[in-house]
Amino acid sequence: MAKRAVINIRADEETKTAIEQLYARFGITVSDAVNLFFSQSLQEQGLPFQVRLAAAQRKPAALALLKQRIAAEAAQLFGDKLQEVRLYGSYARGDYDDESDVDFVLIVDIARERLGDYHAGIVEIANTASIDFEVMVSINAIPAEQYRAWSSELPYYRAIKEEGEEIHA
């Protein structure tokens, strides 16, 4: 089939030059690459690659639901012993990317040696949320007494206190 249709593509000069150099390494022109794209699109009956929203566009709404869910399930697990749920780390700071996990800490009125009694419940909350929200969820429980005593001293606790966001069920 003779190629007679003309398509104009706008790109900045730097991108045009870089893409021409890249395709030249494969022995094709930009026009050849566009025709390959069209052929693959017709074969796939759609774009020949997966299209996803950037993390910044798709995460905020899901994050709000995730925060609510973690707070509610933690309240169910710990009852009145749950003093605080905090989001911390890259999601709290807003500098997360597609590889980031979502970090939560539960401040609980329970002695450290009794936290093991709740381990399976914490793991279940984190695992099901990770699967449902398609992001790694990490949940840590800290005794309230220990958190208060060390939140100004230890870098980990200080980061939770300073950058963390309190979540309400």
User: What's 135-165 look like in SS3?
Assistant: CCEEEEEEEHHHHHHHCCCCHHHHHHHHHCE
| Closest listed residue to residue 90, CA positions, set 134, 128, 137 | 137
- With a pLDDT cut of 70, the percent of the chain lying above it is 92
Which residue ranges form the domains of the chain, and what is each CATH number?
Answer: 13-44 (no CATH), 55-167 (3.30.460.10)
pLDDT 10s digits, 77-130: 999 999 999 999 999 998 888 788 999 999 999 999 999 999 999 999 999 999
Query: Strand 137-143 to strand 82-88: parallel, antiparallel, or no bridges (unpaired)?
Result: unpaired
Q: Has this prediction a pTM greater than 0.75?
A: no
pLDDT 10s digits, 143-155: 999 999 998 899 9
